[in-house]
Structure 1
Amino acid sequence: MSNKNKKETRNQGGKPLLHARNRHQGRYDFPALIKAEPALEHMLISNPAGETSINFADPLAVRLLNKALLQSSYDVRGWDIPPENLCPPVPGRADYLHYLADLLADSNQGRVPKGKQITALDIGTGASCIYPLIGASEYGWSFCASDINQASLTNAQAILEHNPNLGKQIQLRHQANELSLFKGIVADDEWFDVSLCNPPFHASAEEARAGSTRKWENLNKTGKAEQAEPVLNFSGQAAELWCEGGELAFIEKMIRESAAIPTKILWFSTLVSKSANLPAIHAALKQVKACDEKTIIMSQGNKESRLVAWTFLNASQQAAWAKLRWSNNKR
């Protein structure tokens, strides 16, 4: 399968940029963020360049930054997660959703479809419920958010109770079968316009710990860490950070399962953290005879990641899908 659909946007210095619609361009506006979350003020530091920042190796500082970003940009209230859960970066998660919106626009005569009739399935939503919150606020989409961890869903439900307007568009579902991703979640009488997932990166707990240590060392070199020792896993529980076979095995499983429900979801998608996994992912998509596949390069600061999306519907079928399901969409 060719990679002709790869999208890549870079600035004059050669670094990839956030999506044009991303609200988090440039440096953080800390005065505005502190107004949204006053506790963030106590987390501020000066980086080696003399600029105001936070210690990105401090899980509490990162959680407070996320809380402030969600409230100031998306009017999400009462957001918090337990210290042991993975704290996702808001700008990068927003980027994923904006590129998915572009995919849907390709099937909608170039118009980004908005409103509650657009349905998204978030596989592994976690305690943060980050994708549904941003997607419901930014585009008005409806979300089904699944997870195997009931404690994570309980925390997500607590966040939704603080945000009843967004909560009306977000349904949480427990995945009782740890061996399945779509089965047991996608009902026989429902269809989704897009699915999304941030799969676990690592193949074992040991590999996750090593990754956390490398991350801490990199932050320390750039003056962004102040701890004498790395914080274990930079927060994150087992299912969030690792699974047997790692990221590639997880995504290959997702691809196989998607082939069993080819007409239930218009665009399947996943993040891919390791570029070395792309050839095997493309091969897996070719094996299940995906009709179209797109690889999109995304960036947050110096970190680069990839979004891979695929569909089993051809162009005419995609257009028919949009006409049937989004006919009342005026924007």
Structure 2
Amino acid sequence: MQSKNKSKTIKNLVTSEKSSLHPRNPHRFRYDFKQLIIACPDLSPFVSVNQYNSETIDFVNPEAVKMLNKAILKHFYHINLWDIPKNYLCPPIPGRADYIHYIADLLASCNNETIPKGKTVKILDIGVGANCIYPIIGTQAYDWQFLGSDIDSIAIKSAQNIISANKVLTGKIDCRLQTSTSNIFKGILSPDEIFDVSICNPPFHSSSEEATAGTQRKNKNLGLKDTNKLNFGGQNTELWCEGGEESFVRKIVLESKTIAKQCFWFTSLIAKKEHLPSIYHALRQAKATEVRTIEMAQGQKVSRIIAWTFLNPEQQKEWQEKRW
């Protein structure tokens, strides 16, 4: 009987693992709410037991989602103070962590399968946002240095507040305001700055109307009465831009050619696979020397990272030997 119960316990542990997430992602398993509440007691009022006798939160409640993020960031990443302005994007951390860990693998593939760590590795986060999530994860997981850019001055100020409030982030993250909505890199980088990777989670929708319709469709499927409610929040610049994801990434591709030798790998998340042919075409026109597509999955959601470089094999080797 004891052996049977033990087998059942092991099975439950296995099935609770989110095997679609990256193997190094610390969020592969169900949230341990007891540990999270120890880290952040303010999470406790938002935790309840569901019909399956498991502890959870109401994921359609923006305050509950925000408090969960605070607890996760404190427990896993040693971030004692984290907050964002009202109605700004409160991102699901497991998926954000996946991007960072796959970027680490990308760098390792050019470094004898060893992940380069420490302050010599510099990452550019295009659209750092008010939440500063990617730099937080990257600095704590691999001790990388980050530069975050954004066209929203409130987002930049929020990110800077998070950095200054946490000693573990001091001296590891810089933030710069992009004053031109037409440019990605121009106006942000000086000619002598070098980055190992640029990352981007581009605006998904092509218009405010499309973003609103997407929110309404999602909430209707969840059975919510308020179909306009944004449980993860998001400002216009975070949710949509003219031409949407496809246009934004094509702009990155076009402008990346102008700083081809300043960055080893340029990358971006791509949510819709139907956008890939157009982006591949843009990369051929830009004459990228190598293009990679990295598949990612979080539960039923499937996305991918597209990565490209203008460095030839000899230049890649030289970069690796000098910097890592």
- Fold agreement, TM-score > 0.5: yes
Q: Which amino acid aligns with 1:286?
A: R
In structure 2, the residue matched to 1:4 is none
Query: Can you list the C-alpha shifts for 1:143-179, whole angstroms capped at 9, x where unaligned?
Result: 0011111111111111111112312110011101111
Q: Do the aligned partners of residues 22 and 111 (structure 1) sit closer, same or farther apart at CA in structure 2, a change above 3 Å counting?
A: same
In structure 1, the partner of 2:308 is 310
Which has the bigger relative contact order, CA under 8 A and spacing at least 6? 1
Post-superposition CA distance 1:32-86 (Å, at most 9, x none): 1111111211112344433221111111111111111111011012111122101
Q: Secondary structure at the match of 1:299?
A: strand
Which residue does the alignment assign to 2:3? none
Gaps of 5+ in 1: 1-10, 221-226, 327-331
Cα distance in 2 for partners of 1:182, 1:75 equals 31
Partners of 2:81 and 2:282 lie apart in 1 by 41
Match of 2:29, SS? Answer: coil
Of residues 21, 27, 32, the one that matches 2:35 is 32
Q: Determine the structure 1 residue equivalent to 2:258.
A: 260
Contact in 2 for aligned 1:157/1:172 (Cα 8 Å)? yes
- How far 1:189 moved relative to its partner? 1.0
Structure 2 spans left out of the alignment, 5+ residues: 1-13
> Structure 1 residues 49 and 282, CA, compared in 2 at 3 Å: closer, same or farther?
farther
CA RMSD of aligned residues (A): 1.7
User: Partner residue of 1:230?
Assistant: 227
Q: Which range is displaced more, 185-194 or 275-284? A: 275-284
Separation in structure 2 between the aligned mates of residue 44 and residue 100 of structure 1, nearest angstrom:
33
| Equivalent position amino acid for 1:180 in 2 | N
- In structure 2, C-alpha distance between the alignment counterparts of 1:48 and 1:280, rounded to whole Å: 45
Query: What letter corresponds to residue 210 of structure 2 in structure 1?
Result: E
Deviation of the 1:253 alpha carbon: 0.5
Bigger radius of gyration:
2
Amino acid of the structure 2 residue aligned with 1:97: I
Q: Report matched runs for 1:161-200 at 5 Å.
A: 161-200=164-203
* SS at structure 2 position matched to 1:64: helix
Measured in 2, the distance between the counterparts of 1:286 and 1:48 equals: 52
The alignment status of 1:79 with 2:82, answered yes or no, reads yes
Q: Map Cα deviations across residues 187-234 of structure 1 (whole Å, 9 max, x no partner).
A: 1111100000110000111110111112223333xxxxxx52134444
Q: Deviations over 1:244-290 (max 9, x none)?
A: 11110101111000111111110000111111111111111111111
CA contact (8 A) 2:78 2:168 kept: no
- Structure 2 equivalent of residue 96 of structure 1: 99
1:122 to 121, 125, 131: 125
Q: Secondary structure at the match of 1:229?
A: coil
Shift of 1:16: 6.3
Amino acid at match of 2:152: N
Q: Say if 2:111 is the partner of 1:108.
A: yes
- Give the Cα–Cα distance (whole angstroms) in 2 for the partners of residues 105 and 165 of structure 1: 24
2:304 alignment partner AA: R
Q: Write out aligned runs for 1:135-284 (5 A).
A: 135-220=138-223, 227-234=224-231, 235-284=233-282
Number of equivalenced pairs: 309
The answer to whether the Cα contact below 8 Å between 1:203 and 1:244 also exists between their aligned partners in 2 is: yes
Q: Percent identity?
A: 49
| Counterpart residue type for residue 181 of structure 1 | I
Give the letter aligned to residue 81 of structure 2: G
* 1:117 and 1:141 in contact (8 A); partners too: yes
Q: Specify the code of the residue in structure 2 equivalent to 1:84.
A: N
One-letter amino acid of the structure 1 residue matched with residue 170 of structure 2: G
Equivalent AA in structure 2 for residue 304 of structure 1: V
Which TM-score applies when normalising by structure 1?
0.89
Corresponding residue for residue 8 of structure 1: none
Partner in structure 1 of residue 9 of structure 2? none
Rounded to whole Å, the distance in 1 between the matches of 2:49 and 2:278 is: 43
Q: Distance in 1 between matches of 2:37 and 2:239?
A: 30
Q: Residues 264 and 310 of structure 2 are in contact (CA less than 8 Å); yes or no, is this contact kept in structure 1?
A: yes
Rounded to whole Å, the distance in 2 between the matches of 1:48 and 1:187 is 56
> How many angstroms apart in 2 are the aligned matches of 1:195 and 1:228?
40
The CA distance in 2 between the partners of 1:188 and 1:292, in whole Å, is 23
